[in-house]
Amino acid sequence: MVLNLYEQSYHATKELIAIGKLSAGDVLVVGCSTSEVSGEKIGSASKPELAEDVFMGIWTAAKEAKVYLAAQCCEHLNRAIIIEKKLAKERGIDIVNVVPQPKAGGSFATKAYEHFECPVAVEHIKAEAGMDIGDTLIGMHLKDVAVPVRLAVNTIGKAHLVCARTRAKYIGGERAHYDEKLS
């Protein structure tokens, strides 16, 4: 059975949320090249119609888990992040002024801006988990210790899917003991 883009995105997100042990209020950062989803070279063929399906699948799963979605813009906007204004206020993140477009920010971030209740752009975030659809390089927006996560779904459309969760840093040394719930 071949899943459509919405289903692939939804199932991958649900699985990442479960494996990553995300809880209400956590942040999932997503970078998505719709060019790669369609089988083209990253940054060459932005596809708003594909972004709609991918975004809605991810956003639906995130909302069900009460997890914030952070949409990474493309390199033309220095990989800025589109989030809900509420999240920026909760985490004390400075807002910047830019509105993503399909060819300057990317189709996925544009869809986030269109669908979020009160969208804002920020330059940085430290997310608890991330999805990289099409090798968009989301690592700069994850907390310090990222752990790769392998999912049953490893592509969205024709784009390579790489996921990560984060964990608390281990500190101490050979006599230290750790809380397994934080690993």
pLDDT, residue 3, reads 63
Among 68, 75, 173, 183, smallest CA distance to 130 is for 68
pTM of the model: 0.93
All structural domains of the chain, each given as residue ranges with its CATH number in brackets, are 5-168 (3.40.50.10360)
pLDDT tens, residue by residue, 12-27: 999 999 999 999 999 9
- Per the listing, tokens 């990474």 go with 72
Q: Which residues pair with 27 in a beta bridge?
A: 68
> Does the structure show a pLDDT above 90 at 177?
no
What's the N-to-C CA distance of the chain in angstroms? 35
Q: Is residue 158 within a helix (H) or strand (E), and if so which, with residue range? A: none
pLDDT, residue 1, reads 46
Helix 107-115 to helix 48-64 angle, to the nearest 10 degrees? Answer: 50
Q: How far apart are CA 181 and CA 142, in angstroms?
A: 19
- Residue pair 17/27 in contact by the 8 Å Cβ criterion: no
pLDDT tens, residue by residue, 55-98: 999 999 999 999 999 999 998 899 999 999 999 999 999 999 99
Q: Which residues pair with 69 in a beta bridge?
A: 28
pLDDT, residue 48, reads 85
114: helix, strand or coil: helix
Residues 6+ positions from 166 with CB-CB distance below 8 Å: 20, 127, 128, 129, 142, 143, 144, 145, 146, 147
pLDDT tens, residue by residue, 125-175: 999 999 999 999 999 999 999 999 999 999 999 999 999 999 999 888 778
